[in-house]
Amino acid sequence: MKKELIHTLTEDFESYAQQTDSGVEFWLARDLQCLLGDTKWGNFQAVISKAKTAYEVGGHTILDHFVDVNKMVELGSSSQLKNLT
């Protein structure tokens, strides 16, 4: 890869970073899905599953790196709904 492309991809990735109140950086899978150009959540879930397996085989605790979350979306009536798709 060309150095310029790597720099651009790194900037794009970092622009999706979020932070907890205590300053811990994290990324949401759905954001990464879009960044990587994957249009089907089911396909991306398979990628996440493989990554979790790789961490486990490598002797890491999956919950130290992967946390299941549901993102709430606002509805017109000021109520919220879990975004499961």
- pLDDT (tens, 9 = 90+) of the chain, 85 residues, equals 688 888 888 898 899 999 999 999 999 888 888 888 888 888 888 989 999 999 999 999 999 888 888 776 666 666 555 555 4
Residue pair 57/50 in contact by the 8 Å Cβ criterion: no
pTM of this prediction? 0.64
| Domain region containing 73 | 3-83
- Contacts of residue 28, Cβ cutoff 8 Å, sequence gap at least 6: 16, 18, 69, 71
Asked whether the beta carbons of 66 and 51 are under 8 A apart, the reply is: yes
Q: How far apart are CA 2 and CA 7, in angstroms?
A: 9
How many domains does the structure of the chain reveal?
A: 1
Greatest pairwise CA separation for the chain in angstroms: 48
The pLDDT score that the predictor gives to residue 82 is: 55
Beta carbons of 68 and 62 less than 8 angstroms apart: no
